[in-house]
Amino acid sequence: MEVVNNTAMRTDRPLLAVTQISQLLNYVTGFGGLIVPLILWLSTRYSVEGMDVHGKSAVNLQLSLLLYIFISIPCILLLGLGILGLIGAGILGMVLPIVNAVRASNGEAPSYFMTIRFIS
């Protein structure tokens, strides 16, 4: 016996853009940049067209940034090279959500620049 899901996927570009922009909560509140996109992705990935791709990219970006930060902190002791890594992670974490939100509102696929694909 096979169960088929007959619900049609809806197109909701503003929700895709909000999913990408919600990553900036790290800069506003200090947390939430990983939690909010994860909740939005898990709750609407089967009902919104494109949410699976944009949600995965948001979560992968946040996990990659966490990894870059954790690697950069011990590298500060090595001639201060970790400071460049922290600055790069900060810039990457500020620019990519904005770029991906614009791409989501235009109906394009997100950018995966410097992102490790933990969830594929």
Query: What is the CA 2 to chain-centroid distance, rounded?
Result: 34
Within a domain: residue 81?
Answer: yes
Give the domain extent around 55. Answer: 13-105
Output the pLDDT for position 9.
84
Looking at residue 78, the DSSP 8-state letter turns out to be T
Q: How many domains does the chain contain in total?
A: 1
How far is the C-alpha of 105 from the C-alpha of 109, rounded, in Å? 10
Q: What is the pLDDT of residue 2?
A: 52
Count the Cβ atoms, other than its own, within 10 Å of residue 101.
23
- Encode pLDDT of 92-108 as tens digits: 999 999 999 999 999 99
Q: Does residue 5 sit within a domain?
A: no
Residue 114 located in a structural domain: no
pLDDT tens digits along 47-71: 999 999 999 999 999 999 999 999 9
In-domain check, residue 7:
no
* Position 24 in a domain: yes
Domain assignment present for 45: yes
| Residues 18-50 pLDDT 10s | 999 999 999 999 888 999 999 999 999 999 999
**Does 30 fall in a domain?**
yes
Assess whether pLDDT exceeds 80 at residue 1. Answer: no
For 103: left if phi > 0, alpha if psi spans -120 to 50, otherwise beta; the answer is alpha
Average pLDDT over residues 1-27: 83
Q: Residue 101 half-sphere exposure, CB side, CA atoms within 13 Å?
A: 17
pLDDT band at 8 (very low <50, low <70, confident <90, very high): confident
106 Cβ partners below 8 Å, 6+ apart? none
pLDDT at 46: 94
**CB hemisphere CA count around 59 (13 angstroms):** 19
